[in-house]
Amino acid sequence: MIENEMKINLGKSKAVSFTKAKVKKQIRYYFWGQLILEASSFKYSGIIICNDLNWADDVNYTLQRAWKALHFIMHTLKKGNDNMKHLAYTALLGPILEYGAVCCDPYREGQVSALNRVQKQGLAQRRSIAQMCALFKAYTKGRAWRAIGDRLLKPCYLSREAHNW
pLDDT at 68: 93
Q: How far apart are CA 69 and CA 89, in angstroms?
A: 9
pLDDT at 22: 75
For the chain, what's the residue count?
165
**Cβ–Cβ < 8 Å for 144, 137:** yes
pLDDT at 94: 81
pLDDT at 65: 93
Percentages helix, strand, coil for the chain, rounded to the nearest 5? 45, 10, 45
User: Please, what are the averages of pLDDT over each run of 10 residues along the chain (165 residues)?
Assistant: 75 83 79 89 89 88 92 86 83 83 73 79 59 74 64 59 58
